[in-house]
Amino acid sequence: MTQPYDLVIGDRAYSSWSLRGWLLFDAFGIPYKLHKARLYTDELPSLLKHFHPARTAPTIRTPDGVVIPESLAIAEEIASRHPTAGLWPKGAKPRAIARVLAAEMHAGFTALRAHCPMNLRVSYTDCAPPQPVLDDLARLETIWNWAWDQTGSGHWLCGDYSAADVFFAPVASRIATYNLPLSPRAMAYVQAHLAHPSFRQWRAMGMVDGADQDFYRRDYPTRAWPGPAPLPAHAVDGTVSENTACPYSGKSITHALEMHGRRFGFCNAFCRDKTVADPEAWPKFMALL
């Protein structure tokens, strides 16, 4: 069996770069072994000592031992190693446009990044975006409309979902979190991201993956998350459940949730809690229903 890639990420709720790195694997069906470290602690630098010369998340190690930091380099390298996975569009023109978009996102939009850091755990009614942020939003609309007009695509930028869309997934989350103003066409693109199966799983895990990070806390008024509303479920004590093995690992039941008056079991608290956060994000759980 081929050795999987090693993938280093930070906090799922807050690390926008990590979201990109993870989507490049999960959304395109490329196997990986996950290594996670908490931001603003010694965990990440300690972990990255084993991934020289990297100093940021995401970082990968290829099956043949090459360490690659930086999400754009990761995208290009795994696309070259997995040419049928669909990371870049097949056609020369949409592929070129997709690379332009990913490169600009990788290097730019600094005002938007600074004023609106990614936080998947909350959504605000208003963040009073200053003019530089509004200018970044206008630039987003310009290049998105250019891509759609040039490629004739639907919700995604250059045809099917590609690495270009991966690079804008954290932007979509920022727009959702801070209720930033966009045209209806652009907002439909944001909604497509929020409903994407891999994005929903990442956010569900981010909702329960560690304590809140104070750096990202803001005092703006809040609202409900504008993406798909999760089905109602809640954690319960005990191990009584309809299923005898965790739907994800196949291991014995140690934790349970209740949904629609029925109880389902999991092999650990994280498996249960990520399911409580968004049951529909998890096909293996929904199959139990």
Q: What is the pLDDT of residues 186-224, one digit of tens each?
A: 999 999 999 999 999 999 999 999 999 999 999 999 999
- Count other Cβ atoms within 10 Å, centred on residue 272: 24
Q: What is the pLDDT of residues 39-55, one digit of tens each?
A: 999 999 999 999 999 99
- The predicted structure's pLDDT at residue 152: 87
- The predicted structure's pLDDT at residue 53: 97
Say if residues 170 and 20 touch (Cβ distance below 8 Å). yes
Rounded CA-CA distance 12/172 in Å is 15
Domains in the chain, ordered, with CATH?
5-81 (3.40.30.10), 92-201 (1.20.1050), 234-286 (no CATH)
Say if residues 60 and 22 touch (Cβ distance below 8 Å). no
Bigger pLDDT: 153 or 181? 181
Angle between helices 163-178 and 184-195 in degrees, nearest 10: 100
Least confident of 68-82, 119-133, 145-159, 266-280: 145-159
Alpha-carbon torsion angle 5, 11, 12, 17, nearest 10: -70
Asked whether residue 166 carries a pLDDT value surpassing 80, the answer given is yes
Say if residues 202 and 195 touch (Cβ distance below 8 Å). no
Strand partners, 262: 259
Rounded CA-CA distance 231/235 in Å is 13
| Segment 60-63 long-range contacts (CB within 8 Å, at least 24 positions apart) | 60/5, 60/6, 60/7, 60/8, 60/21, 60/32, 61/5, 61/6, 62/5, 63/2, 63/3, 63/4, 63/5
Rounded CA-CA distance 197/284 in Å is 13
Q: What is the pTM of this model?
A: 0.96
Q: What is the mean pLDDT of residues 22-36?
A: 98
Q: What is the pLDDT of residues 1-13, one digit of tens each?
A: 478 999 999 999 9
